[in-house]
């Protein structure tokens, strides 16, 4: 008896099936028909693709296939569907073989959006990288200032500012001293004039009449 040669786990198998779904949902209540049709499709593929233990979780339906199954509502699933099946390892990916025009347009639009978003992300990344390089590398002709020189310049500037402040304060003190001396001199001169004049002279209240001498 010849032994079966096991197929390698990484082998890729592609097949195409046309599955009649009516027998799966015909005896099911109307509000469960689409769910039962999807489950029947998975059972059919698990049997024909030889999935171990008939595990339905290993069968992955495409987004557009799922949308095709739900297109007419939960009560009216499609009677038959043609699918493309790709098995790699233990995982089976299922997609529509003949996609309707509406779904084709939707798929093309979403792919275009994804490519545009990827291009925008790459442009943004390249722009950010260029900006980082520009900030890191100094431009040609610019002198590189060492931190020690920066410290020296800052200390020199501080010293110059302190000297300027001292000059300004000295000038202000000189001006105030000159003003004070002038005020003192004015006060002393006023006191001397007051003492010499003997104080304030009072004007007479009434004028005295004097008689003229006779003989004129």
Task: List alpha helices for the chain, DSSP H.
Answer: 22-25, 33-48, 63-69, 101-136, 147-197
Domain membership flag for residue 135: no
Domain membership flag for residue 29: yes
Last residue of a domain, one of 99, 130, 145: 99
Domain membership flag for residue 144: no
Q: Which of 62-71, 107-116, 177-186, 207-216 has the lowest mean pLDDT?
A: 207-216
Do residues 93 and 17 both lie within one domain? yes
Domain membership flag for residue 215: no
Q: CA 80 to CA 83: how far, in whole Å? A: 10
Q: Which residues pair with 18 in a beta bridge?
A: 82
CATH number of the domain enclosing 20: 3.10.440.10
The residue with greater pLDDT, 190 or 58, is: 58
Do residues 95 and 20 both lie within one domain? yes
Provide the pLDDT for residue 2.
Answer: 39
pLDDT for residue 1 is more than 50: no
Domain membership flag for residue 59: yes
Half-sphere exposure of 30 (CA within 13 A, CB side): 4
pLDDT tens profile 108-156:
898 889 898 998 988 888 888 888 888 876 555 555 545 554 455 567 7
Domain membership flag for residue 146: no
Entry field: residues in the chain: 216
pLDDT tens profile 72-114:
999 999 999 999 999 998 899 999 998 888 888 888 898 889 8
Q: CA 201 to CA 142: how far, in whole Å? A: 85
Domain membership flag for residue 117: no
- Domain containing residue 167: 160-191
- How many domains in the chain? 2
Domain membership flag for residue 42: yes
Provide the pLDDT for residue 211.
Answer: 66
Last residue of a domain, one of 76, 99, 122: 99
């Amino acid at each position: 008896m010849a032994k079966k040669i096991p197929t390698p786990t990484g082998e890729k198998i592609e097949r195409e099936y046309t599955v009649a779904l009516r027998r799966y949902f015909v005896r099911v209540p109307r509000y469960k028909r689409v769910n039962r049709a999807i489950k029947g499709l998975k059972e059919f593929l698990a049997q024909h693709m030889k999935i171990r233990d008939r595990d339905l979780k290993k069968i992955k339906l495409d987004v557009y296939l799922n949308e095709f199954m739900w297109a007419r509502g939960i009560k009216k699933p499609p009677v038959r569907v043609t699918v493309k099946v790709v098995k790699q390892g233990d995982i089976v990916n299922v997609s529509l073989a003949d996609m309707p025009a509406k779904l084709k347009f939707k798929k093309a639009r979403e792919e275009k959006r994804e490519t545009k978003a990827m291009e925008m992300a790459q442009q943004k990344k390249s722009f950010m990288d260029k900006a980082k390089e520009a900030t890191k590398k100094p431009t040609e002709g610019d002198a590189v200032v060492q931190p020690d020189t920066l410290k020296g310049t800052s200390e020199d500037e501080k010293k110059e500012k302190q000297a300027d402040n001292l000059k300004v304060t000295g000038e202000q003190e000189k001006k105030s001293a000159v003003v004070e001396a002038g005020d003192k001199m004015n006060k002393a001169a006023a006191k001397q004039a007051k003492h010499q004049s003997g104080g304030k002279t009072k004007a007479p209240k009434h004028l005295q009449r004097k008689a003229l001498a006779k003989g004129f």
